Structure formats: C-alpha cells, structure tokens
Amino acid sequence: MIVYILKRLAVAIPTLLVLIIASFVLMHVAPGGPFTAERAVPPEVLANLNAKYGLDQPLWKQIATYLWGVVAHFDFGPSFVYKDRSVNDIISQGFPVTLTYGFLSFIAAVLVGVTLGVTAAIKRNSWLDYLAVGISIGAQVLPNFVMAPILVLIFTLSLHWLPGGGWSFDDPRFWIMPVIALSTSYMASIARITRSSMLEVLSSNHIRTARAKGLPKRKIIMRHALRPALLPVISYLGPAFVSMITGSVIVDVYFTTGGIGKSFVDSALNRDYAVMMGVTILLGTLTILFNLVVDIIYGWIDPKIRY
C-alpha cells in the first residue's frame, strides 16, 4: 500500500511542477509586460518597477525564486495591479467562501446522486427509475451557467424566495442556489453511473448466491452490491472535482458570492498575471491532492488493484 501511495506521489509532484513552470513561462513570453500602459512610462521608472518585482532577473532565476516562495512559504508574491495587496491577501479573502459552497455541493452531488442511482437500479422500470433517468439526461444539457439564470428566474424573480446573489456565512438562504447550480449536473452524472454499475452488479453471481442464501434484500444491497457498484463512481469523482472547481468561477461571477473565481476573472480582465497564476496553482494543487486521495481510496476499496 505504501509503495502504491509513493507511486501516486511520484506522479503528483512532477504534475505540480509542470503546472507552475508552464504557467510561469507562458506569462513570461506573453506579449506586453504587466506595466505596459497606454501612457508611456519613463524608462527609469520602468527599470525600477522591473527591479522591484524581480523582472530584470534571468528567467530561470525568476522561476526558482517564485517556486521557492510558493513551496517554502506558500507565498505567491505581490499583485501586479493592486500595489498594496499581495496575491495571498486576495486569495485568502475568497477562498473560505469557495471552499464552503464547493464542499456542500460535492457532498450533495455524491449523496443525492448515489441514492438516486441505487433506487433507480433497484426499482428498475418503475416511475422512479424513469424519473431518475429523465433527470440525468436533462441535466446533461443544463450546465451550471445555464442552471444559474434559470434558478434566479424561478426563485428570485418569480417566487421571491431566495436572494439573487451575495453571500453570508450565517444565512443558509444564500447558499441554496449556488449549491444547486453547481451540483446538479454532477448529481445527474453520478446517478447515471451508479444506476448502470448497480444494474450490472445486481445481475452478477455473488448477488445471486446471496439471494439464494436467503439474505434480506437490504443486507444484500448494503453489504454486497454497493461496494463494487461504487467503484466507477469513485473514479468519476476526480474529473468531477476538477470541473466543479472550474464551475465555481461561474457561481462566483453570477451570484456574486465573492469567492476565489471572481478574483480569477477580475484578474483576467485586469491582466493581473500574478493573481491568475496564484489561483491556477492553488486550484491545481487542490485538484492533484484530491486525485491522490481518490486513487488511494480506490486502491483500498478495490481488491483487484495490485500495488
């Protein structure tokens, strides 16, 4: 098991390095520096600015400094646009919000999705099954940026039940729409995957044996069917997590929740490369860590994996 984990780590660490170095090089070779303004800046001022931000150093040295800052101090450097704020300030302001609704959405997607899928598989060809399949097909074409306006149209503009945007840690009414918008399509995918793998498992030999032994149906499903049926779901969680993180940008922009995605889009529009890179690297790290955890859970739950 330890060898297996180490092997996974051996992939995760280079991935992170590639991400950091690639985004740094991309930024470096991009036309126009961060201080290219419409008004010409005197060369002395430009030289001073470059020296302050370390842009006069050779590329490898800049990368090394940046890498060292990120790895050793978790320091993403200063913002290129806001003179008095560091990237860390900007990120740490929005990160708790993103983390909160992201976590809630993920839990909701997994719990509801798995429940829906298992129920649909057990009661195959009932109205519940058709409902679950219908929802999962519909949700495929309703990504978060389509869900968000539709939710606002229903719950804010028509029914006046929920606030159309903003965020408060104390008031769950602000959480509902971001969580629904973010989780629906993953919920649908998880339900679909669970249903089809559950159907496959239910028709396998060991379930027939369990039924022949006279085990109660509940026990068959919980003890014997669920574990193998969840394997495809677990391997889907990695990609789902990545696109959920991406989807949080939409939520932040549309619901003005003030999360990290808003800082990303703002910095993209302001060409504040330092903030963009900080967000990209932070979210990339989260993704890679999460994939590592998924791999380990998978290795632990699936006896066929040899490590």
Residue 227 contacts residue 301 (beta carbons within 8 Å):
yes
Q: What is the largest CA-CA distance in the chain?
A: 86
Q: What is the C-alpha separation between 252 and 265, in angstroms, rounded?
A: 9
Contact range with another protein by CB under 8 A, out of 49-57, 100-108, 238-246, 297-305 = 238-246
Stretch that binds another protein, among 83-91, 115-123, 141-149, 222-230 (CB under 8 A): 141-149
What does 71-103 look like in DSSP terms, one character per residue?
HHH----B-SS-TT-BHHHHHHHHHHHHHHHHH
Please state, in angstroms and rounded to a whole number, the distance separating the CA atoms of residues 105 and 111. Answer: 10
The dihedral formed by the CA atoms of 21, 27, 28 and 30, expressed in degrees to the nearest 10 = 140
Nearer of residues 33 and 226 to another protein, judged by Cβ: 33
Instruction: Lay out the site mask for another protein across 259-278 (x = CB under 8 A, - = otherwise).
Output: -----xx--xx-x-x--xx-
Task: Report if residue 112 touches another protein, rule: CB under 8 A.
Answer: no
Using the rule CB under 8 A, is 250 a contact of another protein? yes
- Given the rule CB under 8 A, which of 24-32, 56-64, 108-116, 209-217 is the region that contacts another protein? 24-32
Q: Is 279 in the site for another protein (CB under 8 A)?
A: yes
Does position 140 interact with another protein (CB under 8 A)? The reply is yes
Residue 299 binding another protein, by CB under 8 A: no
Residue closer to another protein by CB (options 201, 249) is 249
Q: Judged by CB under 8 A, does residue 37 bind another protein?
A: no
Beta bridge partners of 78: 86
Where would I find the H helices in the chain?
A: 2-29, 43-52, 59-73, 87-122, 127-140, 144-151, 173-202, 205-212, 217-219, 226-229, 231-254, 260-270, 273-301
Segment contacting another protein by CB under 8 A, of 13-21, 74-82, 110-118, 122-130: 13-21
- Which among 54, 47, 45 has a CA at the least distance from the CA of 77? 54
Q: Does 245 participate in binding another protein (rule CB under 8 A)? A: yes
157 binds another protein (CB under 8 A): yes
Residues near another protein (CB under 8 A) are 11-12, 14-15, 18-19, 22-23, 26-27, 30-31, 137, 140-143, 145-146, 148-149, 152-153, 157, 242-243, 245-246, 249-250, 253-254, 264-265, 268-269, 271, 273, 276-277, 279-280, 283-284, 287-288, 291
